[in-house]
Amino acid sequence: MQWKTLDSPPMLAPLYWHAVLKRKITGSHLPEQGFRCRVSVNPQHVAAYRKVCGFADSPMLPVTYPHILAFGLQLQLLTAPSFPFPLLGLVHLSNRIRVHRPLGAVSDLTIALHAENLQPHAKGATFEVVTTVEDALGLLWEAQSRMLCRGVKLDGAAADDALPTPTQVSELTHWKAPADIGRRYAWVSGDYNPIHLSALTAKLFGFPQAIAHGLWNKARTLAALGEHLPAANIDIEVEFKKPVRLPSEVALHASGAGSSGELWLKGSGDIEHMVGRWRPIG
């Protein structure tokens, strides 16, 4: 892997322009290049993120917040000339976070991000965006986001690695996903994908209504779980199913508090939006 170190987090506007211009698949191999950058945590921005995602006030960073710190690097990677797939149209299939140590007293961090594990899929090909976060003591947090690019043709059989349907869960709570949550989350995350912003922009991409960001669904779920989960040595994996159309109401079903458990996010009519599990890092 060749690493390019940036002096500061990239500006998002030019990267979005690159995303709009690139609409074709240009290859079938992932680049052997990753991006690194040092970032500082802004307490005011963290507070705004907490409010949008429902996290309680705490000296600990929200467990999903490092995704926000890494978003600029993700755009840098996915819009680079060497990256073979267009950003617009990628589908976020799953997300896995590992928290190695408590996310308290965090200020300056080093973020590194690259893509790997290109695999055939029934609808195209998948790859993983891998993010690591380090502080002065070493590895603190890491994540894998599995993405689907439709229309890519690769040799081989598609893997069947879906998470099992949760069995030992009961309804814990429920909440409304308001019509404007896509715009509010975009403001704190930088993710202005048109499918999340309004019904009008979502219809341009084949959606009848705007849909909630997958990572907002995960963040809102983990905020609701709160002290159900350990603060560290935890591996939290979710798979995104049917999108949450805006506005709508969802219900969270989960196991009891403990080091391991399952979660299930459902909508009206038992629509399955997200399944997941947490367990110690193995």
The answer on pLDDT for 157 being more than 90 is no
Distance (Å) of CA 147 to CA 48, 82, 128, 161, 234: 27, 17, 6, 14, 22
The answer on pLDDT for 160 being more than 80 is no
Residue 113, pLDDT score: 98
Instruction: Give the pLDDT confidence of 214-250 residue by residue, as tens digits.
Output: 999 999 999 999 989 999 999 999 999 999 999 999 9
Chain-centroid distance of CA 278 in Å reads 16
Q: How confident is the model at residue 188 (pLDDT cuts 50, 70, 90)?
A: very high
Q: Kindly give the interhelix angle for 43-53 and 181-189, rounded to the nearest 10 degrees.
A: 160
In CATH, the number for domain 162-282 is 3.10.129.10
Instruction: Select the CATH number that applies to the domain covering 1-161 from these four: 3.50.50.60, 3.10.129.10, 3.40.50.1700, 2.60.40.10.
Output: 3.10.129.10
Q: How confident is the model at residue 93 (pLDDT cuts 50, 70, 90)?
A: very high
The answer on pLDDT for 282 being more than 90 is no
Cβ atoms of residues 91 and 78 within 8 Å:
no
Q: How confident is the model at residue 121 (pLDDT cuts 50, 70, 90)?
A: very high
The answer on pLDDT for 263 being more than 80 is yes
Residue 202, pLDDT score: 93
pTM of the model: 0.96
So where are the chain's domains?
Answer: 1-161, 162-282
Q: How far apart are the first and last CA of the chain?
A: 25
Residue 158, pLDDT score: 83
Q: How confident is the model at residue 23 (pLDDT cuts 50, 70, 90)?
A: confident
Residue 89, pLDDT score: 87
Residue 205, pLDDT score: 85
Residue 268, pLDDT score: 92
Residue 162, pLDDT score: 87
Residue 155, pLDDT score: 87
Q: Find the mean pLDDT for residues 12-23.
A: 90
Residue 10, pLDDT score: 95
**Mean pLDDT over the full length of the chain:** 95
Cβ atoms of residues 145 and 129 within 8 Å:
yes
The answer on pLDDT for 82 being more than 90 is yes
Q: Is 62 strand, coil or helix? A: coil
Instruction: Give the pLDDT confidence of 196-217 residue by residue, as tens digits.
Output: 999 999 998 889 999 999 999 9
Query: Token pair 């798979």 is at which residue?
Result: 239
Q: Find the mean pLDDT for residues 65-88.
A: 96
